[in-house]
Amino acid sequence: MRKELLIAESELNRAQLMEEWEAATEWHRTLNSGARMAGSIASAAGLLMSGFQAFRRKLKPSGGGGSWLTPVIKGVGLIASLCEVVRSCGDMSRGEVQAARKK
C-alpha cells in the first residue's frame, strides 16, 4: 500500500513539474517575442529618424536650387525599408501563432 502511494505521489509531482515547465517555456516565448518586437520597433524608429534628418538637411535652403527628385527617391526608399520591417514583424507573430497551434 505504501509503495502505491509513493508511486501515485511521484506521478502527481511529475505532472505538476510538466505544468510548471510549460508555463515557464510559454513565459520565455512571450518575453522573446516582445524583445524581438521592441528591437524591430527601435530599428524602424531609428530608420525613420535618420530619414527625417536627411529630409530636413535637404529641405534647408543652401543658396542654390537643388533637385526635388532626390529627396522624393530617398523617401520612397525609406518607406520601402519601413514596410519590410513591418512585414517581418507580422511574419514573426504569425509564425509564433502557427507554432502554438501545432502544440
The overall pTM is greater than 0.85: no
* Tens digits of pLDDT across the chain (103 residues): 899 999 999 999 999 999 999 999 998 888 888 887 877 787 777 777 777 777 777 665 555 555 667 777 777 777 777 777 777 766 655 555 555 555 5
Nearest to 44 by CA among 85, 91, 90, 87: 85
Number of domains in the chain: 1
Say which residue the cell 525599408 belongs to.
81
What is the span of the domain harbouring residue 25?
2-102
